[in-house]
Homo-oligomer: A and B are copies of this chain.
Amino acid sequence: MTQSIQRPSGRTADQLRDVRITRHYTKHAEGSVLVEFGDTKVLCTASVSESVPPFLRDKGQGWLTAEYGMLPRATHTRSDREAARGKQTGRTQEIQRLIGRAMRAVFDLELLGARTINLDCDVLQADGGTRTASITGAFVAAHDAVTKLLATGRIERSPITDYVAAISVGVYEGVPVLDLDYAEDSECDTDMNVVMTGSGGMVEVQGTAEGAPFSRNELNALLDLAQGGIATLIEKQKAALEITHG
């Protein structure tokens, strides 16, 4: 898998950036995690509310949902503030829907009870991979929120059924590489985001040909890379949560 290539960052093809997961980053939220994939920094908070959206009223289950935002100058050039423009872009909506689905894939919503966990993923600094960092960090924030619900007796059994993390992969100068940073992302022919669980099941595979279409072989090479990367990320989640044997 480790084909010879010169990545802008000097990493090998299957090398993640430095990943740091800092819990309790802010003080008010039930879960608050700063997740860093290299220079990409996302603040993920989990907020618990004792209500559910209208479509779940009286269904005896809970809900997880996510919102995503980028500070205007998280990027190389300033982008418009969505609150000032008066609407969220299609990209923002796509990402927050993806994060929500990823979280719900590892939650038993009936065990959660009639309450909602709001995951807010706000990008403080962007350098590629903000959606995969968001998913990886949001899970840890949600886990902390669940720990509080258990500690205060509001729920008796954890609704969490597995770990979940995400990584991007892409074909850069003809070679499949793991965890694209901005320099690579803007040059890639193919860009794929993969979400997987701790037990190795796939939750989301979203591959897009930015330039030339990709082949089944490339797809397979990318998925192999992603599988390895996600396994490492889940180790880091466990370490952050101080869970010695998951």
Contact = CB atoms under 8 A, between A and B. Distances in A.
Interface of A: 26-29, 32, 39, 41, 43, 45, 47, 49, 67, 69, 71-78, 81-88, 90-94, 96-97, 101, 105, 118, 120, 122, 124-126, 192, 196-197, 199, 201-209, 212-216, 219, 223
A5 B209 CA distance: 33
A181 to B, nearest CB: 13
A45 B216 CA distance: 32
Nearest to A106: B213
A62 B147 CA distance: 41
Residue with the highest number of chain B CB atoms closer than 10 Å, among A84, A125, A192 = A84
25 contacts: A26-B41, A26-B125, A27-B125, A28-B74, A28-B126, A29-B78, A47-B77, A47-B78, A49-B78, A69-B81, A69-B83, A71-B120, A73-B120, A83-B85, A83-B87, A83-B92, A86-B87, A90-B94, A90-B97, A199-B213, A201-B214, A202-B214, A202-B219, A204-B207, A205-B206
B208 A203 contact: yes
The 8 A-B pairs of least Cβ separation, nearest first, read A201-B213, A90-B93, A82-B83, A47-B78, A45-B73, A29-B73, A205-B207, A83-B83
Contacts of A122: 71
A71 B90 contact: no
